[in-house]
Amino acid sequence: MARRAHQFPWKSAGRVSEQMLSGDDVVRATGWVFNNATGDSLTLAEFVATGDEEVPAYLETFGARSEANQDRALVEIGSGIGRMTCAFTREFGSVIACDLDAGFLERCYETVGRFGKVDRLRTLEVIDGRNLDLPTDSVDVAFSYITLQHCSRDDALHLAGEAIRVVRPGGTVMLNFRGPAGSDAFLVPAGRLVRSMYRMPTLGGWLSRQRSFTRLAWQVSRVHPDDVITTLGEQLRDVQVWTNPVAHVAVSGRQAEVEQRSFEGINRHHWWLIATVT
């Protein structure tokens, strides 16, 4: 499968994670690609603790936390090495962790083995970065955090469509995107330039350990709520767009049917689509 430029930084970070002896080493070497924390004494336990805090907070905020989740199936798109997956395996009866990188998924399995309920976990490689190899209407919830912004706009919309396809009617999608901002005029072209250097294996391996370069390389796509709602809104009801209170996003398409909500825990550049699948 030919890789596209925006996938190289993740594949490089995945290779670095495969070379590490333990999950603690992975967190110290490249853990910042997931939660931005750096330091020589970080541990996998501390890393997972950040997911243990965030998962219940997001589920509560979005009205998706319930005892009934113990009998429900969740698909997580962009699980990485399992920072949030551990908590999902405690909240949901079954979890399918999906990621572009198979090395991350192996680490995810190990992480959940130590800190979650591994008997509830299945992993799935998103080989082409676009399609989920799962049956239609096969899960109750689809969740994705800080992942769609790392895909091309077309892949992000396609993956959002896949999330809707695999969720049964009446189920829920919780999808996190990064919206457009003034700084994009610099960040997006700079990201494109830096990403092209990750294609060279030795340079790519080195770059993937450099936080400043990698942060630029991540700058792939910005998606406005209107883009998603115009493309996929027909398959959804009870559509909510959540942002940080100081980052109002004007939603114009189907505005009357879209409820805008805010929560302080959301990054100012991010927004969430919360909706029920029809």
Binding site for ligand SAM (CB under 6 A): 10, 33-34, 77-80, 83-84, 98-101, 104, 126, 129, 145-147, 150-151, 155
Minimum distance of ligand SAM from residue 32's CB (angstroms): 10
How far apart, in Å, are the Cα atoms of 246 and each of 183, 185, 221, 267, 271? 17, 21, 22, 10, 12
Residue with Cβ nearer ligand SAM (84 or 251): 84
Helix (H) or strand (E) holding 169: strand 167-178
Beta carbon of residue 272, minimum distance to ligand SAM (angstroms, whole number):
13
**Shortest distance in whole angstroms from residue 66 CB to ligand SAM:** 22
> Which residue, 87 or 258, is less far from ligand SAM as judged by CB?
87
Nearest to 82 by CA among 42, 122, 139: 122
Closer residue to ligand SAM (CB): 13 or 251: 13
Positive or negative torsion for Cα 157, 144, 221, 19: negative
Q: How near is the Cβ of 86 to ligand SAM at its closest, in Å?
A: 11
The residue among 33 and 217 lying less far from ligand SAM, judged by its C-beta, is 33
What is the number of other CB atoms lying within 10 angstroms of the CB of residue 33?
A: 26
- Compare residues 73 and 86 and give the one whose CB is closer to ligand SAM: 86
Torsion region of 47: left, alpha or beta (phi above 0 gives left; psi -120 to 50 gives alpha): alpha
Q: Name which of 167 and 251 has its Cβ closer to ligand SAM.
A: 167
Query: Whose CB is nearest to ligand SAM?
Result: 78
Alpha helices for the chain (secondary structure H): 8-19, 23-30, 32-35, 44-61, 85-91, 102-115, 153-166, 184-197, 201-207, 211-217, 225-232
Least distance (Å) between residue 23 CB and ligand SAM? 13
Assign 269 to helix, strand or coil: coil
Q: Least CB distance from residue 63 to ligand SAM, whole Å?
A: 21
